[in-house]
Structure formats: C-alpha cells, structure tokens
Amino acid sequence: MPREIRIPDLGADIDDVTIAEWHVEVGAAVSEGDILADIETDKATIELEADADGVVGALLVPAGDTPVAAGAVVALLLLEGEDAAAVEGYAADESTPTSEPGESPGAAGEADYEVLVIGSGPGGYVAAIRAAQLGLKTAVVEREDLGGVCLNWGCIPTKTLLRSAEVYENMRHADEFGLAAEGLSFDMRKIVKRSRKVAGKLNAGVRHLLRKNKVDVLEGTARLLGQGRVSVDLNAGDSREVVATNILLATGARTRELPGLEPDGKLVWTYRDAMTPDSVPGTLLIVGAGAIGVEFASFFNSFGAKVTLVEMQDSILPVEDAEIAAFAAKSFEKQGIEILTRSRVTKLERSDDHVVATIDVDGNARTARYDKVISAVGVVGNHEDLGLENTAVRLDGPFVAVDEWSQTAEPGVFAIGDLAGAPCLAHKASHEGITCVERVAGLADLHPVDRARVPGCTYSRPQVASVGMTEAAALDAGREVRVGHFPFQGNGKAIALGEAEGLVKTVFDADTGELLGAHMVGAEVTELIQGFGIAQTLETTEHELMATIFPHPTLSEMMHEATLDAYDRVIHF
C-alpha cells in the first residue's frame, strides 16, 4: 500500500495550510528527508519532507491557494516493489479533506481596488503589503514568478552562487588557517540546484506574506485601458477587467541587447543563462563591467574560467569612486581576470562551440576565441504591451518618466523600481514603493526618495559598497572636501579573518562636516555600508562619527578610522 504523506500537526492555533510549491513531480525518486514541498501557514513557510525512500506516486493537492487541514494526505509514495497501479482509485480519508476555499481572484463581478500593483518584484510586493497594512484594498498582478527578477533570477540566487564560490575559495586556502582540505572539487549542477532552491523558498515566502496581509494575487498579464481600468489576461486562461483608484507600475527591467551581441542561450548568455550553467567555460568574455558583469567575473574566475572583462568607459564599476574602482580592478587582475577598459566588442563570429570576438581596445583591434560570452551592458524598462498608449504616461528613454513621488503624467498611475530608471537596485524599488503608497494613503511628514543616497553594493571578491557622492562628484559640485582613508591591513579583525586587502574612504564637506559620501572595497563591506547610510539620514557630521564608540575587534572600526583620517586624527595607520 502506498505510503501517505500528510500535513503535520503544527499546533492548536493553526487550522490549515496551503501547498506553496511542490519540489517533486509524479515519478520522481526521493530519499527519506528530501524536501517534497513548501507549506505555508499564516505565520511561516515550512518544508514538508519525505519520511521514507520511494517514488512519488501521486500529488493529491495542487500548489496554490487551496487550504489543507492538518493531517490531510497530500501525496503518496510508492515503496519498493509497488507500481503506479497501487495509487489507482486511492481516496484519502474523508476526515481530512481540504478546507473550503474562499472566493478567488477572478471570480465573477467587477473588482474594485484602491491600489493595484502590476509586478511583484521587490518594489511591487513590498508596496502591496504596505498598502494593505494601511487599510487599502490591494491586489498584485504577476505574469511569472512572485518576487520578480531580483528574488528569482537576480539578487538572491546570484548571491547564493557567489557564496558557493566564497566557500570554495576559503577551502583552497585552508592551509593558511592551519586546516587541511585535500582533493577539492565542485559540482556545478549542485551549486546551481542550491541557488534555485533558495530562490524557490523565498518565492513561497512572498506568496505567504501577500496572503497574510490579505493582498489578492492575480496571476496573469495586465494591460492599462485608461481611467483606472486594467485588463488582466489570467494565466489560467480567462480574463477579467479590474478597476483601481491607484495603479503602481512595477514591471522591472530586462537586459539591454546590443547589435551583434544578441543572446542565444548557447554561446551568448544573459544573466539568466549565466546563473544556470551545466559546467564552467574554459574561456569567458563578459561585456560590461558594472556590478552584474563584475559579480559573474568573480564567480566564474573562482571556479577556474579564464575571464576577460570588457568595459567601454575608463574604469570598471564606472559609477563607483575612481579610487575604489581602481583598487578593485587591481585585485581582480591579481586573481587572473583580464580587464579591458576603453574597449568595445565590434564583431562576434559564432561557431558550433565557441565565438571569435573582435575587440577594439583603446583604438587597437584584437581578436580572441571564447567558449562563452555574457552580455551585461545595462537594462531597459519593461514598458512594452502595458497599454501606456491608453494613458498620458510618458517615457524617458527606455524608462517611464516620473516625478520625485513616482507619479507619472497620468493621474493615479505611478511607476517605481527599475521601470522608473537608475539606480536599478532592489532596495531603491522597495523604498519607492513604500513611499508611494504611504503618500496615496495620505500619511504626513513624508520625504521623496533621495536617489543620490541609495547605497550600492557589488558582491564580488573583494566586495564593493558605497553611498552618497564620490570625491569627483563632490568637487564637480563645487564642494570643498576633506577625504579620509583607512586600509584593511591596519585593522586587527581583517587580519585575523585573512582578509587584509581593502580600503574604506570617506568624503566630508570641509565647511560643515556633512558626510557627503562613503566608499569601500574589501570583505563584508556590503554589510558595513548601512552604517554610513544611517549617518547620512540622521545628517550626522564628522563630530558625531568621531564621538561614536565602535566595538573592537570589528571591521566597522575602519569606518571610525577613515573618519578620523579625514581630520588628521587617525590612530592605527
């Protein structure tokens, strides 16, 4: 008889759950302890494990919004010697049926929402949750994966890949720490599998949060009809018209394509292709040395690829402070990454298993063979087929034009996140979404998002992080500045970690002491930068920073020392 997989008893205060996502299909072989599904309650997302070895014979409850009572049988495992015939005609115990679901989105009748969010990325789903918290009847339209590109194909899975690379690099240098790690190897398929699993878990978490906050989710494609009306072609096959008082466009952006560099998924990769490789290419050309290009360069270099980075501008990471970018470039080159600045790919010849690239390097042509190419040359907003022509919404280049409050030229229609232009960062999108709906709700004492103070992070090896003005930007703005530096090699914690390569830089207004900007390169600087971000929000001057007691031994002490250095008071260097 097949083994029954039941929803566990999660406590007296939890009546039922939902299956957020099945991680297996019928016919899949599983081992005891394997994760079969993510189940959601109103409090948390929990993994449902197999309690025996077997083959999945049936999935009795679909993933989605169907509530399931504790103890309900949701799947059947075929044990050794059993075949598919063993599940034919199976009926679960009537004492554990699924609960009666409420009316789902798409039911008959006109929907009326105070806030309708189109797109569920880090801007969209956060805005929807905040709107619901403020008592606004809210819905989200999503045509693909809840959580958007960032959670499913960007920020989170790439950091998961980079964590694997970081652990591998640390293991390669185990001897420096008095440890032994012999016969090191890696399995790229397992590395990718872990990345996809992490993304899947967080995707389920977003669904749980939306349900918990009573946000309706319409799975389908939205199109503006004008005057607050939106047509939604549901993925289930039918369609409906939704009327909303306020519409937030949060459809994100996609990779910009250059003529001759069009991705094909085989030889020329987008970021999506680069995140799910079967193996590591021997030689890799990355076109574009912004954050995305640099992160992929670090990842593939760690696993043995010979990487070439091509950047049209004078330096890699062109939005960063020049001194920090130069430091990072030197570190990457030391690791074996070839960097070509003031360069561009002028021709790409594709063969069955490689490409031949012609690269103009500062006016001189060179030709080289590469196994793969990654195109990382920026993004363009996803505004096509949104029905913008039925509204007064205007474009600003490849993005939707908005004012400081994310308002478009169409009353009641807003655009946030990557769709509204640079900086194209998840945390900027989330902050814009929250600010937008709080203003819609009539909250007082709000401030528009200051894009000049959005922190930037690059999760390469070494990491790069910054907030505020670069030294050059401050000087161009006519500011008199005081600049401080502190190297990682002067910090005890960095030396103890074996991470003595790095630099912290501060830029202050010489007259007022205002912290204009902070820039870092080195281990864990993406975790440190928020300290300077808080300082800017509080309008902190050098006086408060110097008077703050930083704990010892920590990397954060370098923030203190870089401030002291700007005023000729540095202690440890």
Distance CA 322, CA 316 (A): 9
b/e sequence 426-463, b meaning 16+ C-beta within 10 Å: bbbbbbbbbbbbbbbbeeeeeeebeeeebbbbbbbbbb
Q: How much is the pLDDT for 281?
A: 97
Each residue's pLDDT expressed in tens, for the chain with a length of 573 residues: 788 898 887 665 566 788 888 999 998 898 888 889 888 876 667 888 888 888 998 898 888 777 888 778 888 988 887 877 777 756 443 333 333 333 333 333 344 799 999 999 999 999 999 999 999 999 999 999 899 888 888 889 999 999 999 999 999 999 999 999 999 999 999 999 999 999 988 888 899 999 999 999 999 999 999 999 999 999 988 999 999 999 999 999 998 888 999 999 999 999 899 999 999 999 999 999 999 999 999 999 999 999 999 999 999 999 999 999 999 999 999 999 999 999 999 999 999 999 999 999 988 999 999 999 999 998 999 999 999 999 999 999 999 999 999 999 999 999 999 999 999 999 999 999 999 999 999 998 899 999 999 999 999 999 999 999 999 999 999 999 999 999 999 999 999 999 999 999 999 999 999 999 999 999 999 999 999 999 999 999 999 999 999 999 999 999 999 999 999 999 999
The CATH code that applies to domain 3-87 is 2.40.50.100
Active site annotation includes 552: yes
Considering the domain delimited by 112-254+381-440, tell me its CATH architecture. 3-Layer(bba) Sandwich (3.50)
Count, residues in the chain: 573
DSSP β-ladder status, 253-255 and 3-6: unpaired
Residues 6+ apart with CB under 8 A from 430: 122, 123, 126, 127
CA distances, 393 to each of 120, 402, 413, 511 (Å): 20, 9, 8, 43
| In contact, 484 and 506? CB cutoff 8 Å | yes
What per-residue confidence (pLDDT) applies to 153? 87
Fold match, 112-254+381-440 / 268-377:
yes
Cis peptide before 462 (omega within 30 of 0): yes
Q: Provide the CA 145 distance to its chain's centre, in angstroms.
A: 13
> Which one is catalytic: 173, 552, 560, 572?
552
Strand-by-strand arrangement of the 73-78 sheet: 3-6, 73-78, 54-59, 29-30
Q: Which of 299, 297, 306, 319 is nearest to 376 (CA)?
A: 297
- Taking each helix axis from N to C terminus, what angle separates 426-440 and 124-133, rounded to the nearest 10 degrees? 30
Please check whether residue 42 is in contact with residue 212, taking contact to mean a CB–CB distance below 8 angstroms: yes
Cα separations in angstroms, 398 against 193, 410, 418, 520: 34, 18, 10, 31
Domain 462-566, what fold? Enolase-like; domain 1 (3.30.390)
- How is the chain split into domains, by residue range? 3-87, 112-254+381-440, 268-377, 462-566
Q: Please tell me the CATH superfamily of domain 268-377, with its number.
A: FAD/NAD(P)-binding domain (3.50.50.60)
> What is the predicted pLDDT for the residue at 42?
67
For residue 103, the model assigns a pLDDT of 34
Q: Are 212 and 123 in contact (CB under 8 A)?
A: no
What count of Cα atoms within 13 Å lies in the side-chain half-sphere of residue 77?
Answer: 20
Q: Is the pTM of this model over 0.85?
A: no
Q: What is the pLDDT of residue 14?
A: 63
Instruction: Give pLDDT, residue 495.
Output: 97
